[in-house]
């Protein structure tokens, strides 16, 4: 590898994210348990989220709106408005969750920043990701911050043009095979997969893939063994 620039996903790569969403979803299901079972509520919510992705994009605000829409659908528009307020409260609590760094992140970024240009390349709501980045105290290590509407090959190609890095000199590090690994390999860049113990069902993908440009890591510090 002749890597010059390393990009990192944020949610569940640098800091904890999905467990908070799953806890919020569980509370949402509890609000509606008189109408439907938890499994069915979760399935309805996921269906609504998928339908709304192109409208709202990824992030907490789209999740909140999808919960409200699912609430309306499940209750056939007859829900007490107090339930709507409770859903809004759930979303606002989710937004205000503390930022919990994954072990080894700060040390690894500090080491890498001495030899490589580092980029934060993540999906999600811009304001929320900016808040989490500020709270994380990790911003000082990054040469460029990119909050992406999606992570498809064309999005990564746009990023590479913007930061003026050839595909063969670029490495993407992330926990999602679907979003952080496959699109990057498709543009002939390098990718490093770090599994996280919890994954949003929309991001789940077979992890036993093989590719000459793919590194499989157990934890974030392992990247140092490949680059130094």
Spell out the SS3 assignment of the chain: CCCCEEEECCECCCECCHHHHHHHHHHHHHHCCCCCCHHHHHHHHHHHHHHHHHHHCCCHHHHHHHHHHHHHHHCCCCCCHHHHHHHHHHHHHHHCCCCCECCCHHHHHHHHHCCCEEEEEEECCHHHHHHHHHHHCCHHHCCEEEEECCCCHHHHHHHHHHHCCCHHHEEEEECCHHHHHHHHHHCCCEEEECCCCCCCHHHCCCCCCCCCCEEECCCHHHHHHHHC
pLDDT at 205: 56
For the chain, list the domains and their CATH numbers. 5-16+100-227 (3.40.50.1000), 18-95 (1.10.150.240)
Residue 6 dihedral angles phi and psi, to the nearest 5°: -120, 125
pLDDT at 59: 87
- Answer yes or no: are the C-beta atoms of 94 and 21 closer than 8 Å: yes
pTM: predicted TM-score of the whole model, two decimal places: 0.89
pLDDT at 149: 87
Q: ∠ CA(76), CA(18), CA(222), 5° rounding?
A: 160
- Answer yes or no: are the C-beta atoms of 58 and 125 closer than 8 Å: yes
pLDDT at 207: 61
- Answer yes or no: are the C-beta atoms of 205 and 177 closer than 8 Å: yes
- Strands across the sheet with 190-193, in order? 144-148, 117-123, 5-8, 170-174, 190-193, 214-216
- Answer yes or no: are the C-beta atoms of 46 and 53 closer than 8 Å: no
Instruction: Spell out the residues 6+ positions from residue 12 whose beta carbon is closer than 8 angstroms to its own.
Output: 18, 102, 175, 176, 196, 198, 199
Report CA torsion sign: 101, 215, 57, 165. Answer: positive
pLDDT digits (tens, 9 = 90+) for 95-129: 999 999 999 999 999 999 999 999 999 998 899 99
- Tokens (6 digits) for 193: 């997969």
pLDDT at 202: 52
pLDDT at 85: 94
Q: What is the pLDDT along the chain (228 residues), one digit of tens a residue?
A: 799 999 999 999 999 999 999 999 999 999 999 899 999 999 999 999 999 988 998 889 999 999 999 999 999 888 888 999 999 999 999 999 999 999 999 999 999 999 999 999 999 889 999 999 999 999 999 999 999 989 999 999 999 999 999 999 999 999 999 999 999 999 999 999 999 877 656 555 566 788 999 999 999 999 999 998
pLDDT at 57: 87
């Amino acid at each position: 590898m002749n890597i010059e620039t390393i990009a990192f996903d944020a949610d569940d790569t640098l800091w904890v994210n999905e467990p908070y969403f799953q806890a919020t979803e569980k509370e949402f299901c509890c609000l509606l348990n008189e109408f439907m079972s938890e499994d069915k509520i979760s399935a309805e919510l996921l269906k609504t989220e998928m339908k709304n992705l192109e409208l709202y994009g990824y992030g907490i605000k789209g999740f909140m709106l999808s919960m409200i829409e699912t609430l309306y659908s499940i209750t056939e528009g007859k829900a007490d408005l107090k339930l709507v307020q409770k859903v809004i409260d759930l979303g606002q609590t989710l937004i205000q969750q503390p930022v919990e760094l994954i072990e080894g992140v700060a040390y690894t970024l500090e080491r890498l920043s001495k030899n490589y240009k580092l980029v934060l390349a993540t999906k999600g709501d811009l304001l929320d990701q900016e808040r989490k980045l500020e709270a994380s105290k990790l911003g000082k290590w990054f040469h460029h911050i990119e909050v992406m509407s999606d992570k498809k090959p064309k999005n990564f190609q746009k990023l590479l043009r913007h930061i003026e890095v050839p595909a063969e000199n670029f490495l993407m590090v992330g926990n999602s095979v679907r979003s952080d690994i496959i699109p990057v390999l498709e543009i002939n860049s390098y990718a490093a997969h770090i599994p996280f113990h919890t994954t949003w069902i929309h991001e789940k993908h077979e992890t036993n893939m093989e590719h000459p440009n793919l590194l499989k890591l157990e934890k974030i510090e392992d990247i140092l063994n490949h680059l130094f």
